Structure 1
Amino acid sequence: MVLQMARPSARVGTLNRQYRRRYPADIRRILDGPGSSFTRPTGWGREGITLTLGTASSAQAKAAHARISADVEAIFATLRAGPRPLSHKETVALSGEVYRALIAEHEENPGDVERWMRAEVENLRAESGQHGPASLKVETDAERKRRGFEGLFGARVSALLSRKALWVEEESRSRLLEQVSAAVRQGNLLLMDRAAGDYTPDPQAHRFPEVPAFTASTPSGRGKLTMAALFERWEKHPEQQNTSPDTKRRYQGVFAAVSKFLGNPDAREVSSGDLQRYVEARMEATESPLSPRAARDVHKAALSSVYGWATTKATLTGVKANPAAGVGIKVVKARATRPKGLTDPEAHRLVDAALAVQVAEAPPQTLPAARRWAILVCFYTGSRIGAVAQLRSEDVSVRPDGATIRFTPEAGEGIKGDARVVPVHPRLVELGFLAFVEAAPPGPLFYNPSQRRRAAARIPQGDLVARELAEWAGKVVAASDLGKVLHAIRHRFMTCCRHAGIEEQYVEAIAGHAPGSQNRQYGEFPMAVLARELCRLEAARVEGRPAPAAEGS
């Protein structure tokens, strides 16, 4: 059997021949893949490519067909290599094409001066983020500017990249949008002069370098995939939409640190040896050394997770193996010299310190309120301080089966896992917790969002409250042999539940632990049942108070 080469094909309704090509399977996956940012050139349809050859001549059609075939194969090679970065010089050169096209189109008949003044105003509005669809999230200045530039110049940049058959990384596109804005501004000012009758040559016209001949990437000359770019692809992929912002921030910090240590390498060329050198250097650092556990559970885990994902998207990322898989970190469990939870005297000191904060001195949305109520809620729910610190007034309610607290990711990032509702212990009611909540405005109980200095700050306010409480509690308990005091409350809660005879399944449901068996993942825990169990906890035991003396002793 002899395979025939692709050849010009006939087209109904015209004598001109055409080029037709269906997409190979891997190219189709790239074009249709989630988050693909490649702008299809003219003639690139859903299933394949159809382009007119512009001639009915058989010889001319064959020559045109061969040229287009070569161009298409070059673009396929570019797609297979993945998005490429643009150097600063390449970015400025491409923006120069936009400048020259703008001048060529309007220099002969520029219209009136006001036209270009309005164009300049639009450019300034874009720079301040007033173009493009409004964002529902709090944006940084850079994000607002990027959205504005995309709204005003995005179509122009996409057309430019399409003509050049370029697929660039998001970071490079952002820089190109900014350079295009500067080039258009330069053009607007020149055309304003032209409209006023001034045809003096533009002294800055030659600042744009010549546009290079962009070629398809090859294994030896492919575009560099930085560590930051790899992380960005992982972060923005639809599969990460439910990954917590806290996890993303932690992973981003690790990738930035590795990139700095290795000298901003190509992420596809990082080896297990490179990452082993990194973790060893961090563990042996004289300032802020990593513990082996942090090196394994934070740094290696972040690298392994992102690189593991990248290998499943090798067609897009070019990452063939996970270098973190070969990193060895041995963690030797420390020998316990004391209980993990607070002892009775330690619990007593911390509860007394919380109760010493008078209700009148602890209005809602203040740190004193957190020192009193957040600490007590931890003692009587076993919850993590991060979850308690983000509680809102609407998360506490009184129901027919009793008062409840709802811990939900909707309130912030402190929730690890799904939302859960737990009963309020009678001791909290007795101390006035419900009255405190009732007097609070809608929103967070322990911090005031309006007092946020920077709306785009990376650390959530709830986390800042949790850190403040951790520092304060550490000073109150003053136990040098105890690590995280507030986590020790969680351990104590479990111990007190066992003293009270509360079954593990109820403890898990109240404290937010993962179910200990598959069976416990089915069904719900009625609130009346959880309240019944939680009421078994005796306040004196939880708070570490001495047992009352027996009568007659």
Structure 2
Amino acid sequence: MPLAMPRPMKRPGSSFHQFVQRIPADVIGKVRGMTLTIPVGETVVVRRISAATPDVRISLGTRDDNEAKHRHAVATGYLQGVWRAVREGPRRLTHKEAVALAGEAYSAWTEAFEDDPGPPEMWAQVTAHNVQADAGTFGRAAFFIGPDEGRRARSMEERFGRGADAVLARHGLIVDADSRARLIDQIGRAMLQAGEANFARADGDYSPDPAAVRFPKFDTVRSEPAKPAPSGVTIGDLLNKMSAERNHAPKTRSEWTRAVRSLTDHAKVTDPAALTTPMVVAWMDSLVTQGLKAKTINDVYLAAVKALFAWAEVRIGSNPVAKVPRIKRNDEESNERGYTLAEAETVLRAALLESNPARRWLPWLMAYSGARAGEIVQLRRQDIRQEPESGVWYLDFNPEAGRLKNKPSQRVVPLHPHLIEMGFVTWAKGQANERLFYRERAGGAPAGRRDPKSVTINRVGDWVRDDVAVAAVRAGEVAPNHGWRHRFSTELVNLEVPDTTRKRLTGHRLDGEDNRYVGKIVMERLHAAVAKLPRYVTDHVD
């Protein structure tokens, strides 16, 4: 079978984010019959443009909003490169660039099997197929009648063609036929060495790999003439226009303003036409040097800048961020967890000694409700309610109090009996201000400044990290606020609370038949689920 890397993505469900881009009118007649290899996450999706294809439609293969934004930007950049290549002609790869791209394929194959390479016999077979491809005797090409060089080209295409397309797609490159043939040849050489390296590891030889150092680093961008931006328009102006158009939440506007300002300060440019991809890459490197986590860089800084320039591309004629890859660190993957019982009781014990309302009540409310910090902080006096029929007190998370993450986030969560005994209801109903945990500013927060809600959330997190000094929080294993949500969900699972009830309490989307037919879960059932949570012991008399 052909050597394809990475594997094609399986057809995802309808709940995944979708990507749609209309084929420009000036190229639609020239791309009929073209096959696109579109990068989507760690894989590629192949689409053929037929005579009846007005646009390109694919699934982004993820339900995560931030990851979907990143994948959308990458796919957009790739297709813009395709349309540009159709208008201006495909790009020619230099010899060095072809070797560098082959090196990426080599690294992918050696790194993927480094820990568990499998049996040596498997790699002996892979190497045999690679040798056959180089000799023109692999696959169906071996049966073609014609010159040896023709058979070899067909054989190499069958073995390594999809791998070459995948590497090109990751960089959004459309290259001429000669460059693609040169790349396939270099990938063939690289795969011979990768098979030998994996065979050695499978045989127990983990000595340093001498072949890995021969590949140069691929320079993702060649200098292109900057396209003029509208006179007087700055990158900050573009962000303000996009935020106004999309009605961004104050927190989003504040975070994205800081991200864009960080970029422009580092690059020392404000003109969007003057910003180049190397400037963005250098900025990303500086964020890594500052010690920021990969998740923060990717999901806050890079996500903001990618979204801005994807929106602005039709206005300024360029997108210098489209091909900038995400930061990846193996030691940061999926290591966040919820609080342990001992850690939780340490924080809750400290909260009982606080006079500041946010520090005093937020940890306890998050511990017994599993709600997001933002949902708790924006509560108003009237959002602490009692159902007349059952007498159950509950938290009413509704959009009138402030923005919610999504539609399922609008919900009610009964108060745990322990919270009522501790006097939370009495305290909340006795507050003079409508907002329980912060005071709103007249006219909202100034541009680029965090709103009081975000400041309150961050200060509680800083208090847990710096004053309570929970070791796991300081080490980044537990998020100071979101760790409660992890713990709450885990506790409900351990207590065998039905999945539909748990999702109603946490504000997660229900799938399939549950979402259509469960309807409103009665307050008593929700209260019974919350009341199952064991009381936290703090050695404090309430």
TM-score by length of structure 1 reads 0.49
Residue aligning to 1:478 = 470
| CA displacement at 1:335 relative to structure 2 | 6.3
SS of aligned partner of 2:321: helix
Tell me if structure 2 keeps the 8 A contact 1:350–1:477.
no
Residue 368 of structure 2 corresponds to residue 374 of structure 1: no
- The answer to whether residue 406 in structure 2 is matched with residue 417 in structure 1 is yes
Deviations 1:257-308 (A, max 9, x none): 2222223243145333332222123322xxx443322222112211211222
Contact 2:415 2:527 (8 Å CA) reproduced: no
What aligned pairs does 1:43-442 form with structure 2 within 5 A after superposition?
A: 223-237=231-245, 240-241=246-247, 243-284=248-289, 288-311=290-313, 314=314, 317-319=315-317, 321-334=318-331, 340-356=337-353, 367=356, 369-400=357-388, 401=390, 402-412=392-402, 415-418=404-407, 419-442=410-433
Aligned position for 2:41: none
Q: Does 1:531 align with 2:501?
A: no
For residues 432 and 487 of structure 1, what CA distance do their matches in structure 2 show?
A: 24
Q: Distance in 1 between matches of 2:415 and 2:526?
A: 8
Q: Any stretches of 5+ residues in structure 1 without a counterpart? A: 1-217, 547-553
2:7 is matched with which residue? none
Q: Give the 3 Å change call, closer, same or farther, for CA 530–268 of structure 1 in structure 2.
A: farther
2:374, 2:454 within 8 Å by CA — same for their partners in 1?
Answer: yes
Identity %: 23
1:375 shift after superposition: 1.7
**What's the offset of the Cα at 1:512?**
2.6
* CA–CA separation in structure 2 for the residues paired with 1:332 and 1:381: 33
Please state if 1:517 is matched with 2:511. yes
AA at the equivalent of 1:305: A
Does the aligned pair in 1 maintain the 2:337–2:483 contact within 8 Å? yes
Instruction: Give 5+ residue unaligned stretches, structure 2.
Output: 1-225
Shift, 1:518, TM fit: 4.7
What is the Cα deviation at residue 442 of structure 1? Answer: 4.7
Counterpart residue type for residue 268 of structure 2: G
**Aligned-CA RMSD value:** 3.4
Cα offsets for 1:410-466 (capped at 9, x unmatched): 3345x433432222222222222221222223511123458x999758322232322
User: Among residues 457, 464, 474, which one is paired with 2:455 in the alignment?
Assistant: 464
Matched, 1:444 2:435: yes
CA deviation string 1:3-43 (max 9, x = no partner): xxxxxxxxxxxxxxxxxxxxxxxxxxxxxxxxxxxxxxxxx
SS class of match (1:334): helix
CA deviation vs aligned residue, 1:129-160 (integer Å, no higher than 9, x gap): xxxxxxxxxxxxxxxxxxxxxxxxxxxxxxxx
Residues 342 and 488, structure 1, Cα contact 8 Å, conserved in 2: yes
Q: CA deviation at 1:395?
A: 0.8
Give the Cα–Cα distance (whole angstroms) in 1 for the partners of residues 534 and 432 of structure 2.
29
TM-score normalized by the length of structure 2: 0.50
Deviations 1:495-553 (A, max 9, x none): 2111211123322221233x15354554643342552452452323xx2679xxxxxxx
Q: Deviations over 1:322-366 (max 9, x none)?
A: 332200133224368987121121122222233345xxxx5xxxx
8 A Cα contact 1:509 1:525, kept in partner: no
Give the equivalent residue in structure 2 for 1:125: none
1: distance between equivalents of 2:446 and 2:263? 25
Matched residue SS, 2:385: strand
Distance 1:265 1:370, change over 3 A: closer
Contact kept, 8 Å, 1:343 with 1:544, in 2: the verdict is: no
What's the CA shift string for 1:365-396, capped at 9, x where partnerless? xx1x3333222111111112222122111111
Counterpart residue identity of residue 233, structure 1: K
SS at structure 2 position matched to 1:249? helix
- Over 6 Å off, 4+ runs: 218-221, 335-339, 452-455
